[in-house]
Amino acid sequence: MGVKVAVVGGGSTYTPELVEGFVTRGDRLPVDALTLLDIDPERLGIVGALAERMMRRAGWGGTLQLTGDKRAAIEGADFVIVQLRVGGNKARYTDETLPLEFDCIGQETTGAGGFAKALRTVPVVLDLADLTQEIGAPGAWFVDFTNPTGLVTQALLDHGHRALGLCNVAIGFQREFAKHFGVEPDRVQLEHVGLNHLTWERKVLVDGVDRLPELLADPPLEPGEDEFEGMPIDFIRELGAIPSYYLHYYYRTSAVLAHQHTGKTRAEEVMEIEAGLLELYKDPTLDTKPKLLEERGGAFYSDAAAALIASLHADTGDVQVVNVRNDGAIPNLAADDVVEVTCTVDRDGARPLPVAPLAPEMHGLVAHAKAYEKLTVTAAMSGSRADALKALMANPLVPDWDTAKPLLDSLLEVNRRYLPRFFPEG
């Protein structure tokens, strides 16, 4: 029996990544209906046309629907993938620049920028999840790729939805380490622990043998480099684990701030890349994913997303890294904390593999960030400035009340049109 997949934010330049993942997994994931939903009809038309050319090139015989009607997109869907960006890249630019005026990190998923994005995003995603429960296929899965992924997944699970969160950081590490050791990626399994965009690799198992000590002794660096994932190699060796790139916002805040005050924002880079991609996508002869898409970010997104959905559908019990409720997997975190960990995935969902407790230097930061995430979910749904101030003050990258209070006022005002709960008068 075929599968219907609905992609919310189908006009995203990421969509060809997803399409590639689906057409290469037809044996395990027989998608016979793919619906792309987007509020921008021009982008949807451009991206959708490329998606259809890619599918036809691969011999895919299913139906492709392009729509701006969310009910039409979600009705009967077995899987709903969410990759939306409320406010687009203009809002992202604000997320990355406004916090700098208060000498805080400007980033779209962490710090004050990530907080603003969460306030815009959580209510929208929960509304879509409610609709999926109402009119999706029985037992439909809601898969979130929208940042801040861990926080959004926390909101989804706290509100009782059948949902999982997905990020490409872990699969990127897996592919990089597989290349380093000269093996196929499926022979590499990570002990990936923490929260989304706040994770460490504590083991790198190749055919069941931990090769992390070798990686720490001989990291995959280009000649002349002395940093990995934004951190000095000596520090990583002392830590005894490989931190994700996003941890450099916490571990090297001063250096990152200095760079952000003088450098070009990632939002500006992405807008330029996306303009170039959309021009490429318009070419009626293009029927493959263009190389420029690699610069957009989200490397291996197609593999991660399609592999997750295939495992959920085919009941294969594959090992993948997913954002899921902790349920005791990390002993010194709460059972209802959404964590990003290695799981086995089958028709019933993702079950986290038990690991050792987080070391104090990891646990302190994770507990701090998780408190912020839960407070932010509350604020996003209540529309209360008091709740929002508590959440922002709990953010590890916001120093104190004297910073948080005026920063919150500015963030709310600049995002007014996207925050009806905070501004019910419109």
Enzyme catalytic residues: 246
Q: Give residues with Cβ within 8 angstroms of 52, minimum separation 6.
A: 64
Q: Are 117 and 147 in contact (CB under 8 A)?
A: yes
Q: What's the one-letter identity of residue 18?
A: L
Q: Give residues with Cβ within 8 angstroms of 413, minimum separation 6.
A: none
Q: Where are the beta strands (DSSP E) in 74-206?
A: 79-82, 141-144, 163-165, 188-195, 198-206
Stated as kind and residue range, the H or E segment containing 342 is: strand 338-346
Q: Would you give the DSSP letter of residue 357?
A: P
Q: What's the one-letter identity of residue 242?
A: I
Give backbone dihedrals phi and psi of 204, rounded to 5 degrees, phi first. Answer: -125, 95
Q: Are 95 and 113 in contact (CB under 8 A)?
A: yes
β-pairing, 63-67 with 31-37?
parallel
Q: Are 344 and 321 in contact (CB under 8 A)?
A: no
Which residues is 198 bridged to in the sheet?
A: 195
> How close are the terminal C-alpha atoms of the chain, in Å?
46
Helix pair 360-382, 385-394: axis angle to 10 deg: 160
Q: Are 37 and 45 in contact (CB under 8 A)?
A: no
Give backbone dihedrals phi and psi of 232, rounded to 5 degrees, phi first. Answer: -60, 140
Q: To which residue do tokens 């749904």 refer?
A: 381
Does the CA dihedral 186-190-196-198 come out positive or negative?
negative
Q: Give residues with Cβ within 8 angstroms of 404, minimum separation 6.
A: 389, 392, 393, 398
Q: Are 149 and 165 in contact (CB under 8 A)?
A: yes
The whole-angstrom separation of Cα 341 and Cα 413 is 36
Which residue pairs from 268-272 have beta carbons closer than 8 angstroms and sit at least 24 positions apart in sequence?
268/93, 270/89, 270/92, 270/296, 270/297, 271/89, 271/93
